[in-house]
Structure 1
Amino acid sequence: MQIDDTDRRILRHLLADPGLATAALAERAGVTPATCWRRLDRLRENGVLRGQGMAIDWRALGYEIEVSLRFTLDKTAPRAFDDFIEAARGVPEVIQIQTFLGRVDVRLNMVARDMAHYQEVYRSRILTLPHIADIEALMHIATIKDSAGLPL
């Protein structure tokens, strides 16, 4: 889908403040509310906009530890990926699952309340996931940039 400068302005303002009402978004983007509504509707229909989501601040809920776990799977088992992902989905502390091509097959992001909670989850739920050939844990220290936006 091709977008023009008006679409880009609308998207920039929408990314900056996702909770804006259509009238306020239209005003900031320099278009009429009707034009803004039609453009947003077209962007949704073409899959550019996929709903409006909320971001959860896990730290505000008491989860102080975030860890990225990188796995290489034993791919001699025909269902290694499927079995691993199915089991990983059952771990409540896992907040993201990604698959890759390359040396790392799967990455899990998980949260824990503290180091004791992390150790308990790691030993009882993570190490028991099927088909693990290798695992590497990376402790999250700081987020430098976190943007879902594109350079519009």
Structure 2
Amino acid sequence: MIRLDDTDRALVRAFTEDATASAGALGRRFGLSQPACWRRIKRLREGGVFRDSRLDVDVAALGFGVTVFLGVKLATKGRVSLEDFERAVSAIPEVQVVEHVLGLFDYRLRVVARDIPDFERVLRRRIMTLPGAGNIEANVLLSEERRPGPLDLL
């Protein structure tokens, strides 16, 4: 685990607000030169604080108006490996997130679809045919509120 000082924490907070901010702009904001700020950002990346850069796409703007969270309980543990299930489910383009979880279900999936009939098609033709898929529970997303940054532990 990398040690963070107050300036590092401030940089992490700033990046959660605007991941496109330049090292020069952040340096001016926090009283650092551009090279000093860049070295800190590089150290945070190399230390694993920033895993990667992603573009946050609004799937609704692309025509995907339905988001469903699925809980999937594997029916045949042992006969079908977790890797087989994960590989197969990751190949489904409508599945945006695959999480291996502990609890009532073995996996939690975030699935997007154009509408409910489209979701039903994805469910019947792709998800229910996955190797080892057993019980499936669906929860349709009604609204989503996002926290603007990391936990207030920084």
User: Could you say which residue in structure 2 is the equivalent of 1:97?
Assistant: 98
The whole-number CA distance in structure 2 between the counterparts of 1:76 and 1:62 is: 36
Unaligned runs of 5+ in 2: none
Q: Quick one: distance in 2 between partners of 1:109 and 1:136?
A: 12
Distance (Å, rounded) in 2 between the aligned partners of 1:79 and 1:123: 20
Q: What is the CA distance between 1:148 and its match in structure 2?
A: 5.3
Change (3 A) 1:146 1:78: farther
Alpha-carbon contact 1:13-1:28 (below 8 Å) kept: no
Counterpart of 1:42 in structure 2 is 43
Q: 1:67-111: per-residue Cα shift (whole Å, max 9, x none)?
A: 001011124434342222222122111111110122210111110
State percent identity of aligned pairs. 37
In 1, Cα distance between the equivalents of 2:88 and 2:143?
28
Post-superposition offset of 1:146: 4.2
Written as runs of structure 1 = structure 2, the 5 A alignment for 1:22-33 is 22-33=23-34
> Does the 8 Å CA contact 1:74/1:80 hold for their aligned counterparts?
no
Q: Aligned residues, how many?
A: 152
Q: Which amino acid aligns with 1:95?
A: Q
What residue in structure 1 maps to residue 52 of structure 2? 51
Q: Write the distance in 2 (CA, Å) between the matches of 1:34 and 1:80.
A: 48
Does 43-52 or 63-72 show the bigger shift?
A: 43-52
**Structure 1: runs of 5+ lacking an equivalent:** none
Is the Cα contact below 8 Å between 2:65 and 2:113 reproduced in 1? Answer: yes
CA distance in 2, matches of 1:109, 1:42: 32
Q: In the alignment, residue 50 of structure 1 is paired with which amino acid?
A: R
Distance 1:148 1:62 in 2: 27
Query: What is the rounded CA distance, in whole Å, between the counterparts of 1:82 and 1:12 in structure 2?
Result: 35
Instruction: Tell me the amino acid that sits aligned with residue 30 of structure 1.
Output: G
TM-score (norm 1): 0.91
Contact 1:14–1:25, Cα closer than 8 Å, also in 2? no
CA distance in 2, matches of 1:83, 1:148: 34
User: Over aligned residues, Cα RMSD in angstroms?
Assistant: 1.6
CA separation in 2, counterparts of 1:135 and 1:146? 28
Q: What is the correspondence of 1:116-127 to structure 2 with a 5 Å cutoff?
A: 116-127=117-128
**Structure 1 stretch 29-38 or stretch 142-151: which is displaced more?**
142-151
What is the letter of the counterpart of residue 7 of structure 2? T
Partner SS for 1:133: strand
Whether contact under 8 Å (1:13, 1:29) holds in the other structure is: no
Query: Are the counterparts in 2 of residues 43 and 49 from structure 1 also a CA contact under 8 Å?
Result: yes
* AA matched with 1:40: I
Any runs of at least 4 consecutive aligned residues in structure 1 with deviations exceeding 4 A, and if so which?
none
Residue number in structure 2 paired with 1:134: 135
